[in-house]
Amino acid sequence: MTTDKEIKELTGVNTRLLSFKYFGPTNSNGSRVKITDKRFKKSKTIPYDHCYNNAGAVAARYLLDNGWDVVGSNEDYGILIIGAWDCEQQL
């Protein structure tokens, strides 16, 4: 698994990692994606948009639409790499 230090070396910026996870439909809820920011202990669950191929794309689109600087992702590990950010920007 890639460490924070390795990612910082690759991107050359102060990066931040958010994790995401897909949750399938239930009897009462449709498919959804949970984005988690462990640094600030916050999470946000959003509906799964079926026009995208995977949960990472859904999470990235949500964050981009809300002003986040998404610079990369890893679907296998369920992480999104955020480039430039400040501590005021939270889920």
Q: What are the helix (H) ranges across the chain? A: 4-11, 55-65
pLDDT of 11 over the 60 cut? no
Above pLDDT 70, what percent of the chain? 85
Would you state the structure tokens that stand for residue 68, as one six-digit string? 């986040």
Q: Which amino acid is at 63?
A: L
Average pLDDT, the chain: 85
What is the pLDDT, as a whole number, of residue 9? Answer: 57
pLDDT of 65 over the 70 cut? yes
pTM attached to this predicted model: 0.81
| 43 vs 74, higher pLDDT | 43
Please give the Cα distance from 8 to 3 (Å, whole number).
9
Express each pLDDT in 26-62 by its tens digit.
999 999 999 999 888 999 999 999 999 899 999 999 9
Residue 54, C-beta contacts closer than 8 angstroms, at least 6 positions apart: 22, 75
